[in-house]
Chains A and B, each alone.
Chain A
Amino acid sequence: MKMELIIRNGFVFDPINGVKGEKMDIAVRDGKIVERVNERKALEIDASGMLVMPGGVDIHCHIAGSEVNAGRLLRPEDHFKYSERKTATTRSGSGHSVPSTFTTGYRYSRMGYTTIMNPAMPPLMAKHTHKELNDTPMVDKGSFPLLGDWWFVLEHLSNGRIEECARYVAWLMTSTKGYAVKIVNPGGVEAWGFGHNVHSLDEQVPNFNITPREIIRGLCKVNKLLNLPHTIHVHTNNLGKPGNYTTTLETMKCVEDLAADDKPVIHITHCQFSAFKGSDWKTLRSGAEEIARYVNNHSHVTLDMGQVVFTDTTTMTADAPFQYTLHELTGSKWTNQDVETETSVGIVPFRYRRKSYVHAMQWSIGLELALLIKDPWKIFLTTDHPNAGPFTAYPRIISWLMSRRAREATMKKINRRAQSKSLLPSITRELDFYEIAVMTRAGQAKALGLKDKGHLGVGADADIAVYKINPEELDPSRDYKIVRKAFRRAAYTVKGGEIVARNGEILKHVKGATLWLKVKTSQQTKVNEDLKRRFRDYWTVEYENYPVSENSLDISHPINVEAKI
């Protein structure tokens, strides 16, 4: 039996259960939160004068898989100055924007994060991704297979066979041990394999009789048929191009009629990159206002920020046509990967500079989105790690969201033209700790459909973060530097009922579970000779070698899903 634990007298922020900074004790037994424990025997954490929140949840961070690994190979310079020594409990590692697996886990744990989602897994590279996730300690994790350009999906959708498509998706989700449907530049990624791209929702995808709109709508219906816990996770078309906010609005609109009971049906990821107005880079403006207005009036969308921080980082996405454009724009080195799989990947090292107009505008757009969207349950804090900045910048972003002064201090240092075009000076809103708890854990867990994560109710997983902030004494607006420091190093991180980190020091190396969906459909996909032949003809592996077996996951945590078909 694991030990019992009690966290005393903290200011608890647990938005899912409606707890807003009340002083209470949290009891833990066997890795779960319980009503009470034997107080004489239980290990006690004195959290008086501290914040107690559920462990952080990250809905979108590229931490494992073939593209991350290619990024590590491409960037030895990202590693040689950022090394962490082996200690009695932790393993060594290195890297700033694409850290090695162990280091990734430790860094998340130091910030009080306990669940993270790797959002881009080419199904063919699922084994590789899961091997790396196995080696990412301290956190529970899941992975989203890239389905928007999977040939079976495109074929069945173009023929209007939604149910057949759903069965294939269910089979793929279970056999690649995936967690949600990821769609990247629908149609465009497939076109990239032949050197093309698509530029609007209604452009025909080369070689397939289908448009991006049909892919998004089709997979959205599939997602509903299968009852998947998360919505479709969409990286829009035209990402990173001036004027693309209209595409984003259209993408959100195109599934409006599929929504029911105010439940979200689409998640637009790293929305900052999809909220550009203007006709070229010189006339770039923020489209955050329009997107925020739409999201405020509709309940079928959730977003995450993709907030830019001014640092050296590595951009990597399955949207290889965009990355090629970025490489041409910056002259930086680049690599193309995974074209032989069901998707593609481009990687370009990038430095966001304060003095660059475009980069400064991007910084502003991310924050505008987070502040103009009134409901924190609809927008989540991410940097699309490592695309807009490494995840270690989250505390900095929290301080920007909580303090107008912090924003103004950065604003003074950025490009002058961007200062005059930014909407930020007109926004007075400052988030409080409750809203931050929603944006960094509760909202993300809810959007992901994780029932046991992101809250501190009885029966939830005992993933808890304690931060050295006294919300009664500290004014986050003024003392934003203290907030930043506190979120950078959690006073305690509890994972599965054990204290794994204290004041930024890793006390125990624990393995996290891999979350995946076991989707049950009444009728299974028929594995016939035709399917096998197609694998033989078009894939680089035989059908038999394609699925990931459950015993290749170190700690498997299947979530059973009953589909409607």
Chain B
Amino acid sequence: MMNLYPTKKFRFPITAECISPDVFQDKKIEEIRRLTVWEGNKQRILGELFKVKESESETKMVVINIHGDVSRVRRIGAYMTSGQIVIYGNAGMHLGEEMEGGEIIVRGNVGCWAGSMMKGGKIEIYGNAGNYLGAPYRGVNKGMRGGEIVVHGNVGNEAGAYMRRGVIKVYGNAGQFAGLRMQNGTIYVQKDCEARVGACMKDGKIIVSGFLESVLPTFTIEGLKEKVKIENDETAEGPFYLFLGDTAEDGKGKLYVSKTKNPHLNRYEKLL
């Protein structure tokens, strides 16, 4: 088990895609210290920015613990395929970008683009997440293609944009444009959700258990559901209004909105 302690309060953005179990695997602690990272426009070695300590571990799995605030550190766990990263503090942008397996646990808040374009594995965030959770880089139309992201706090705008597979569970509130242009997969928002949810979605499932101010006019009411399955053993208790859309894109996506939390949507019931 490797433990990383930031040696200072970082002033410049740090790009450190080398902080990944795949890179650390089979490396001696000296080699790990010599891995290259970027601090602003200067190249540094990991040992300059972090105190690296090894500790005993019971499992064979590569585990990296980061103790401290790394909110300026980007691309932690990018491309990882196995192992575990635990961050005891806030993490920066592009956490777990394009990860394919393994697990990242953050005991703090996370910047934008967490789990961007991920293909597998799990990210669990105990604080809040920034904008573009699980969304692809600007211009890319292949979003999340598998895996699971769980956020216990709130998330920003455009969570799960261009999603193709996988699950995003938000136990707090979500910003605007959740599930923008999603093609498949599931997004669950336990609390309130801002407007324009599911804009341009083609398929997939979005569940809003809290308050939703309005549904886009390009969604049509389909019926009422008592409960909705989120994952294998997890269901959201309703009742829910079921909307289909986005008809502007000829989409067949399902949008479930809680009935009890949204009495203002009862005008749709006339159309049933």
A-B contact pairs, 7 of them (CB 8 A): A75-B139, A76-B139, A77-B139, A77-B140, A78-B139, A80-B137, A332-B141
Q: Residue B138 at the A interface, CB < 8 A?
A: yes
Contact across chains for B138 and A76 when beta carbons are under 8 A apart:
yes
Residues of B within 8 A of A333 (CB): 141
**Could you tell me the distance in whole angstroms from the C-beta of A329 to the nearest C-beta in chain B?**
16
| Binary per-residue interface labels of chain A (298-340) against chain B in the complex, 1 for a CB within 8 Å, 0 otherwise | 0000000000000000000000000000000000110000000
Q: Residue A482 at the B interface, CB < 8 A?
A: no
Residues of A within 8 A of B139 (CB): 74-78
Contact size range, B: under 10
C-alpha gap A332/B136 in the complex (Å):
16
Q: Which chain B residue has the least Cβ–Cβ distance from A79? A: B139
| Binary per-residue interface labels of chain B (111-140) against chain A in the complex, 1 for a CB within 8 Å, 0 otherwise | 000000000000000000000000011111
Using A75-B139, A77-B136 as known contacts, list a sample of 5 further A-B pairs with CB atoms less than 8 Å apart, ordered by residue number in A. A74-B139, A77-B137, A77-B138, A80-B137, A333-B141
C-alpha gap A76/B138 in the complex (Å):
6
Residues of B within 8 A of A76 (CB): 137-139
Residues of A within 8 A of B140 (CB): 77
Contact size range, A: under 10
Residues of A within 8 A of B138 (CB): 76-77
Which 8 A-B pairs rank lowest in CB-CB distance, beginning with the nearest?
Answer: A77-B139, A76-B139, A77-B140, A76-B138, A75-B139, A80-B137, A77-B137, A76-B137
C-alpha gap A74/B140 in the complex (Å):
10
**Could you tell me the distance in whole angstroms from the C-beta of A316 to the nearest C-beta in chain B?**
15
Residues of B within 8 A of A77 (CB): 136-140
| Binary per-residue interface labels of chain A (228-251) against chain B in the complex, 1 for a CB within 8 Å, 0 otherwise | 000000000000000000000000
**Could you tell me the distance in whole angstroms from the C-beta of A514 to the nearest C-beta in chain B?**
31
Q: Which of B17-70 contact A (CB under 8 A)?
A: none
Which of B136, B137, B139 has the largest count of A CB atoms less than 10 A from its CB? B139
C-alpha gap A31/B133 in the complex (Å):
56
| Binary per-residue interface labels of chain A (60-96) against chain B in the complex, 1 for a CB within 8 Å, 0 otherwise | 0000000000000011111010000000000000000
C-alpha gap A74/B139 in the complex (Å):
7
Q: Which chain A residue has the least Cβ–Cβ distance from B142? A: A77
C-alpha gap A333/B162 in the complex (Å):
13
Residues of A within 8 A of B137 (CB): 76-77, 80
C-alpha gap A75/B137 in the complex (Å):
11
Residues of B within 8 A of A74 (CB): 139
C-alpha gap A352/B142 in the complex (Å):
16
Q: Which chain B residue has the least Cβ–Cβ distance from A73? A: B139
C-alpha gap A332/B139 in the complex (Å):
11
Q: Which chain A residue has the least Cβ–Cβ distance from B138? A: A76
Q: Which chain B residue has the least Cβ–Cβ distance from A86? A: B41
**Could you tell me the distance in whole angstroms from the C-beta of A98 to the nearest C-beta in chain B?**
12
**Could you tell me the distance in whole angstroms from the C-beta of B10 to the nearest C-beta in chain A?**
22
Q: Which of A26-58 contact B (CB under 8 A)?
A: none
Which of A76, A77, A78, A333 has the largest count of B CB atoms less than 10 A from its CB? A77
C-alpha gap A78/B140 in the complex (Å):
9
Q: Which chain B residue has the least Cβ–Cβ distance from A331? A: B141
Residues of A within 8 A of B136 (CB): 77
Q: Which chain B residue has the least Cβ–Cβ distance from A333? A: B141
**Could you tell me the distance in whole angstroms from the C-beta of A347 to the nearest C-beta in chain B?**
12
C-alpha gap A332/B140 in the complex (Å):
11
**Could you tell me the distance in whole angstroms from the C-beta of A87 to the nearest C-beta in chain B?**
13
**Could you tell me the distance in whole angstroms from the C-beta of B99 to the nearest C-beta in chain A?**
16
**Could you tell me the distance in whole angstroms from the C-beta of A403 to the nearest C-beta in chain B?**
34
C-alpha gap A333/B141 in the complex (Å):
9
| Binary per-residue interface labels of chain B (89-124) against chain A in the complex, 1 for a CB within 8 Å, 0 otherwise | 000000000000000000000000000000000000
C-alpha gap A333/B138 in the complex (Å):
13
Q: Which chain A residue has the least Cβ–Cβ distance from B136? A: A77
| Binary per-residue interface labels of chain B (135-176) against chain A in the complex, 1 for a CB within 8 Å, 0 otherwise | 011111100000000000000000000000000000000000
C-alpha gap A333/B136 in the complex (Å):
15
C-alpha gap A106/B136 in the complex (Å):
30
**Could you tell me the distance in whole angstroms from the C-beta of B158 to the nearest C-beta in chain A?**
15
**Could you tell me the distance in whole angstroms from the C-beta of B145 to the nearest C-beta in chain A?**
15
C-alpha gap A369/B97 in the complex (Å):
43
C-alpha gap A559/B140 in the complex (Å):
44
C-alpha gap A405/B138 in the complex (Å):
40
Q: Which chain B residue has the least Cβ–Cβ distance from A75? A: B139
C-alpha gap A5/B137 in the complex (Å):
48
C-alpha gap A6/B140 in the complex (Å):
49
Residues of B within 8 A of A78 (CB): 139
Q: Which chain B residue has the least Cβ–Cβ distance from A332? A: B141
**Could you tell me the distance in whole angstroms from the C-beta of B172 to the nearest C-beta in chain A?**
29
**Could you tell me the distance in whole angstroms from the C-beta of A349 to the nearest C-beta in chain B?**
8
**Could you tell me the distance in whole angstroms from the C-beta of B74 to the nearest C-beta in chain A?**
12
| Binary per-residue interface labels of chain B (1-12) against chain A in the complex, 1 for a CB within 8 Å, 0 otherwise | 000000000000
C-alpha gap A42/B101 in the complex (Å):
59
C-alpha gap A509/B136 in the complex (Å):
36
**Could you tell me the distance in whole angstroms from the C-beta of B93 to the nearest C-beta in chain A?**
13
C-alpha gap A80/B139 in the complex (Å):
10
**Could you tell me the distance in whole angstroms from the C-beta of A80 to the nearest C-beta in chain B?**
6
C-alpha gap A165/B136 in the complex (Å):
51
